[in-house]
Structures are given as structure tokens and as C-alpha cells.
């Protein structure tokens, strides 16, 4: 459902949230290496998040990225909206240009449920909650 850019944005912001305690910046190279994301591709994604004030970019030898807002208030849907847009929730599940309740594709109604559940999840989950789940052992993050 999400583009590769969006997946990388979600992974990178989670990584930054987990590793930028006490306003210590996380370097672009550290994020790229740990997540196995091409450095230049990640740089463009993170600059987009800086432009939309999700992240702050710090220059210099100890530079890198930190969250620009509280991880408790930053819902995942905001990152998805910035990178992929919210029209992903309006698209046909198998890619038809015209698909609706009145003229459904073969997976329309089942996929509609998946899209609604995904939207609810993204609207309700914050970066802080994801970090708490990892820290408490309820979920795991793959770093390589």
C-alpha cells in the first residue's frame, strides 16, 4: 500500500525517535547503514520531513536529525500524508482508474475494509507508542 519512500520515512523516523534521546542528533549515515537504505535516497526523504517540520537537521560534525515535535503527538498518518498523500486510501486495490461502491472491482469491498483499518491504525498510533512497544518487548525492530 505504501511507497518505498514512505516505508523508509516511517522506518527512519522510528529509528530517530528511538536513538535521539536528550536531543542528540542521529546521523544520516547511521540511519542509512542501520536500516539498509541508500544514503542519497534517504537524504531526500529526510529533507522532505525537515521541510514539513517533522524533523530538524543539525549541521556539523555532531550533526544529524532529531524530531521537531513530541513523539507522543506525532501520529504515523502525518508521515504517510507528507510522503505518499492520503489519496492512497482512495485508490483501487488492483489499480483500476474507476472503482467505487457503485462500480466495484473484484476486491473493492474487502480492500475497502483493509484501507479503513489501516487509516484508523495510522491515525491512532504515535511514534512514542511504537517506541514503547519495542522498549517493553511487545514488538521488535529489524535493524539489518
Q: Do 25 and 54 sit in the same domain of this protein?
A: yes
Question: In 12-63, which ranges are E strands?
Answer: 55-58
Q: Which residues pair with 55 in a beta bridge?
A: 67
User: Taking Cα atoms as reference points, which of 15, 20, 65 lies closest to residue 36?
Assistant: 15
Position 143 scores a pLDDT of 62
Backbone angles phi, psi at 75, to 5 degrees: -85, 150
Structural domain ending residue among the three candidates 42, 67, 92: 67
| Distance from C-alpha of 122 to C-alpha of 55, rounded to nearest angstrom | 19
- The string of pLDDT tens digits covering residues 99-117 is 999 999 999 999 999 999 9
Backbone angles phi, psi at 137, to 5 degrees: 80, 10
Range of the domain at 46: 4-67
Handedness of CA 120, 127, 85, 93 (dihedral sign): negative
- Answer whether 0.85 is exceeded by the pTM: yes
- The string of pLDDT tens digits covering residues 20-70 is 776 789 999 999 999 999 999 999 999 999 999 999 999 988 889 999 999
Q: Which residues pair with 66 in a beta bridge?
A: 56
Position 22 scores a pLDDT of 67
In order, the DSSP letters of 115-141 are HHHHHHHHHH-BHHHHHHHHHTTSS--
Residue 104 belongs to some domain of the structure: yes
Number of domains in the chain: 2
Residue 30 belongs to some domain of the structure: yes
Q: Do 57 and 102 sit in the same domain of this protein?
A: no
CATH of the domain at 49: 1.10.10.10
Amino acid at each position: 500500500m505504501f511507497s518505498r519512500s514512505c516505508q523508509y520515512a516511517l522506518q527512519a523516523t522510528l529509528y530517530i525517535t528511538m536513538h535521539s534521546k536528550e536531543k542528540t542528533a542521529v546521523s544520516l549515515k547511521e540511519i542509512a547503514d542501520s536500516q539498509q537504505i541508500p544514503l542519497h535516497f534517504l537524504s531526500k526523504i529526510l529533507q522532505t520531513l525537515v521541510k514539513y517540520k517533522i524533523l530538524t537537521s543539525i549541521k556539523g560534525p555532531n550533526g544529524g536529525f532529531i524530531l521537531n515535535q513530541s513523539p507522543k503527538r506525532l501520529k504515523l498518518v502525518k508521515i504517510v500524508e507528507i510522503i505518499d498523500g492520503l489519496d492512497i486510501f482512495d485508490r483501487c486495490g488492483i489499480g483500476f482508474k474507476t472503482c467505487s461502491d457503485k462500480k466495484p472491482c473484484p476486491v473493492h469491498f474487502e480492500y475497502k475494509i483493509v484501507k479503513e483499518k489501516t487509516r484508523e491504525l495510522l491515525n491512532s498510533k504515535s511514534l512514542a507508542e511504537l517506541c514503547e512497544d519495542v522498549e517493553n518487548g511487545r514488538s521488535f525492530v529489524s535493524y539489518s
